[in-house]
Amino acid sequence: MKFRMYRSVKLGHLRIHLTQHGVHSWGLQLGRWSWNARTGRHTFDTPGPGYVQTRGRRR
């Protein structure tokens, strides 16, 4: 079984996701809106149990 290190660090509105190989991705969160730099995905939390998100970049 392989051991994997994964850690998320929150610095104000900036969140950095770290793995054993370095920075995996980073994102911003302002209120109910968030954005991920690696995927380019925008997410908006809606009232109740749900959220709306864009598809992000296509590869």
Q: What is the pLDDT of residues 5-50, one digit of tens each?
A: 889 999 999 999 998 888 889 999 999 899 988 888 898 888 888 8
pLDDT confidence tier of residue 59, bands split at 50, 70 and 90: low
Name the residue ranges covered by the structural domains of the chain: 6-53
- Give the per-residue SS3 of the chain: CCCCCEEEEEECCEEEEEECCEEEEEEEEECCEEEECCCCCEEEECCCCCEEECCCCCC
Model pLDDT, residue 58: 61
